[in-house]
Amino acid sequence: MGNIGLCFTSVGRRHFACSVFVYFACFAVSRMKGIFLTFEGTEGSGKSTQISLLTKRLELLGHTVLTLREPGGTPIGEEIRYTLKHSHQNHAMTNEAELLLMNASRAQLVRETIRPALAEGKVVLCDRFYDSTTAYQGYGRQLDLKTVRAVIDFAVGDTRPDLTFLLMISIEVSESRRLSRQEALLFDVSPADKGPGGHTKLPFSDPLRDRMEEADRSFFERVAQGFEAIAAAEPQRVRAIDATRTVEAISAEIWKQVEPLLPAAR
Ligand code: TMP
């Protein structure tokens, strides 16, 4: 009996020591967990402006911020971005290839950058994430939504945004901002790159050309409907923001929702 008692005591001690270790390990991991915020919306919705304002505000408070974009954000991802948007080979790209390339870039970004940054306790801000795939490839290109979801799940695993800001503007505003952005880019082309009569040469290999923006209006209408459906389905995570207001008003609304999530500055 004495031996059995001794045996239980040492097992008990070991068990206790293990529990204490696991408790402190979990505590350390949870303290290091960063925050993952994503920004979504149609072209010209002002995501970049809001991301840069939020970055400055967070950094002033002492947080370490990592800003990323999709597709892209890693060396491999940026090559995929070029293929998706600007490559002279991309005309014949199928919708299925587009879906997989978006998610190849994402799978790389999640493992190479996002997970390590969150483990270090950083605030990660990402210009687009998987809601863009649902909106553009699911609703816009009309690929089967169940398949789209399965591909996204494979790419991201359990890495999900804590909060997503969906900047909402009308299709007309988005269209006019997209066109004026394209005009500004053309205007910026150096004279050496201009063709006869001062017209910009836009061969299909031109990095200023964006395949994603060549879709017709009905595509962008479906994308906008897709974003609305996502916001309606997940109101806890996806916060729809009226982005037709001033930059300051939008930024204040975003800040109100980010502030409560922040850990003490490190
Ligand atoms: P942007 O960085 O200028 O917003 O360009 C990214 C483009 O790629 C934009 O047209 C939206 C599109 N896109 C998708 O179609 N699916 C996706 O999953 C992502 C992240 C972006």
Q: What is the DSSP string of 76-128?
A: HHHHHHHHHHT-TTGGG--HHHHHHHHHHHHHHHIIIIIHHHHHTT-EEEEES
pLDDT of residue 193: 43
pLDDT of residue 8: 44
Ligand 1 close to Cβ of residue 81 (< 6 A):
no
Cβ atoms of 68 and 126 closer than 8 Å: yes
Nearest CA to ligand 1 atom 18: 133
Question: Was domain 32-171+217-265 assigned CATH 3.40.50.300?
Answer: yes
Ligand 1 close to Cβ of residue 45 (< 6 A):
no
Ligand 1 close to Cβ of residue 212 (< 6 A):
yes
Cβ atoms of 111 and 122 closer than 8 Å: no
Candidate of 102, 106, 177 to mutate for ligand 1, largest count of ligand atoms within 8 Å of Cβ: 102
pLDDT of residue 177: 86
pLDDT of residue 5: 44
Candidate of 50, 70, 103 to mutate for ligand 1, largest count of ligand atoms within 8 Å of Cβ: 70
CA 262 to centroid of ligand 1, rounded, Å? 28
Half-sphere exposure of 104 (CA within 13 A, CB side): 15
pLDDT of residue 206: 53
Candidate of 130, 136, 213 to mutate for ligand 1, largest count of ligand atoms within 8 Å of Cβ: 136
pLDDT of residue 1: 38
pLDDT of residue 209: 77
CA 191 to centroid of ligand 1, rounded, Å? 30
Low-confidence ranges of the chain (pLDDT < 70): 1-32, 184-208, 264-266
pLDDT (tens digit, 9 = 90+) per residue, 156-176? 999 999 999 999 999 999 988
pLDDT (tens digit, 9 = 90+) per residue, 132-143? 999 999 999 999
pLDDT of residue 185: 62
pTM: 0.83
Ligand 1 close to Cβ of residue 93 (< 6 A):
no
Ligand 1 close to Cβ of residue 69 (< 6 A):
yes
CA 43 to centroid of ligand 1, rounded, Å? 9
Ligand 1 close to Cβ of residue 167 (< 6 A):
no
Residue in the structure block whose two tokens are 């002002």: 46
CA angle 12–13–14, rounded 5-degree value: 90
Domains of the chain by residue range: 32-171+217-265
Looking from the CA of residue 70, the nearest atom of ligand 1 is 20
